[in-house]
Structure formats: structure tokens, C-alpha cells
Amino acid sequence: MSRVLVPVVFSSLLISGLAFAGSDAIKQRQELMEETRDAAKVIGGMLRQKQPFDAAAAMAGLQVWKKTAMEAGDLFPEGSESGHDTEAKAEIWTDREGFNQKLTDFGTAVDAAIAANPDSLEALGAAAQPVFKTCKGCHEGYRVEKEE
Ligand code: HEC
């Protein structure tokens, strides 16, 4: 009897485990993207001169983006394609190579911005604009357009 039961229990645990992992990953990546946006607001606010340039705050924002670049790749596992109002497009799973390339482009731009260590508004603009382009570059193909 246990020979029959064990596989059944095991496989149903596995299935619910996967479903949990899926919605968990969606929440985690949405939170990560929210942090990413908060950093973008600080840096964007300086660039639009809505708040004074602050080199340390700018660098802190760039470091948040660095964290995004390092962590985002693991937060789109199989099984997390739907649910939780995800805005992730199916293309992430059908064209993983393309998605990974966009993530690499973002990480490369962030690394360059950190290396530039911007110490003026002009330098921050030169460092951050290429990063903003890569946010858009990924969202265009891999995130569902929504009214915000
Ligand atoms: C490699 C791809 C990629 C890059 C680069 C990227 N994003 Fe995203 N972003 C996504 C995807 C995919 C979602 C949808 C996630 C979901 O809902 O499951 C998303 C969602 C978001 C959201 C909505 C979060 C929520 O509450 O649901 C914001 C805000 C956001 N991104 C801002 C940014 C900003 C700002 C940058 C650049 C500094 C950036 N993203 C870079 C792919 C990317």
C-alpha cells in the first residue's frame, strides 16, 4: 500500500510546491521592480531638477539597480507565467535568450554607471540615461503594457 501512496503524496506535494514557487517568484520580482522604480524616481528626480543632486543618493540608487540586475534572472522560473496580476509577457519563456540579453544590457549599463561614479548632475545624466533606455528596452518586448 505504501508503495502506491508514496508516489501520489510526493507528486501532489511537488505540484503544490511548484505553484507556490511560481506565485512567490512573481511577488518577489514585482517587489524587486518596485525598488527599481523607487531608485529610478530618485535619480530621475535629480535629472529633472525636482530634487538637488546628491552623489551618495544617486550611487545608492545605482546600487539598487545593480541588485535588480543580479537577482531578476532567477525570478522568472517555469510555472510563474501567470497569476498575481503578472505583467510578464509569455515571450520571457518562449524567447529566454532574448530576455536574458535585455537583462545583460541593463546590467552592463548599470555597471558602467557605477564605474563612472557620477559627481555632478551632468555626469549622472550621462551615466543614467543609457540605463533608462535598457529598462524600456526590456519592457517593450517582455512586459505587458498597462495604464499606470
Ligand atoms: C530584463 C527585463 C527588465 C528590465 C531591464 C527592467 N524591467 Fe521592469 N519589469 C520587467 C517585467 C517582466 C515586469 C513585470 C513583472 C511581473 O509583473 O511579473 C516588470 C515590471 C516593472 C514594474 C511594475 C512592478 C509592479 O509593481 O508590478 C516597474 C515599476 C518596473 N518594472 C520598473 C523598471 C525600471 C525603472 C527599470 C530600469 C531601471 C526596469 N524596470 C528594468 C522587466 C524588466
Q: Summarize pLDDT for 23-57 with one digit per residue, the tens.
A: 899 999 999 999 999 999 999 999 999 999 999 99
In angstroms and rounded to an integer, the radius of gyration of the C-alpha atoms of the chain is 19
* pLDDT score at 135: 98
Question: Max Cα separation, the chain?
Answer: 73
Distance from Cα 33 to the centre of ligand 1, integer Å = 5
60 and 124 in contact (C-beta within 8 Å)? Answer: no
Q: Residues lining ligand 1, CB < 6 A?
A: 26, 29-30, 33-34, 36-37, 40, 65, 86-88, 102-103, 106, 131, 134-135, 138-139, 142-143
- Which amino acid is it at 92? I
Distance from Cα 54 to the centre of ligand 1, integer Å = 25
| CA atoms of 73 and 29, how far apart (whole Å) | 9
